[in-house]
Amino acid sequence: MSLESERRAIGTAIEAERRGSGNQIASDLDRLSGVTRKLTALSLLPSKGTLTAKKGVGTWDPANVPSTGGGIASPLSETDYTVREYWPKGLLSSDGLFNIPALKTLKMTDNDGAEVILNFAQPVTASTP
């Protein structure tokens, strides 16, 4: 055997080893992970047979009816601006020259007369380098 044919054979063997089969790669990965799989079959459910057609029956319970419509009736209106709450430090402008008041809580009234409270997060101050 010549050196050239020996090198070709080695190269072909290395290439075949690297490619491997799909099952070989999966089994190698399973072996390296150290986790052994337990192969279990799904349990069989007994057949229930066919159900006959029935008419549905419901009972009305007024206690389960929500008192509100489940939402906010638009439009929202602010009835008293003096009840606004602001964050103590406010919001500093990017150049650091202005301190802008930042809302903390805003109380509104919806169209049905229900109170709606909006809570705002505290502003984050930008760190200067």
pLDDT digits (tens, 9 = 90+) for 34-91: 777 678 888 887 677 766 777 888 888 888 777 666 788 889 999 999 999 999 988 8
This prediction's pTM = 0.43
78 DSSP 8-state letter: -
The answer to whether 110 and 116 have CB atoms below 8 angstroms apart is: yes
Is-cis flag, bond preceding 123, omega within 30?
no
Q: Is pLDDT larger for residue 119 or for residue 28?
A: 119
**47 token code pair:** 């057949």
Tell me the two tokens of residue 15: 């290439």
User: If pLDDT is split at 50, 70 and 90, which confidence band does 127 have?
Assistant: low
Instruction: Give dist(CA 95, CA 97) in Å, integer.
Output: 6
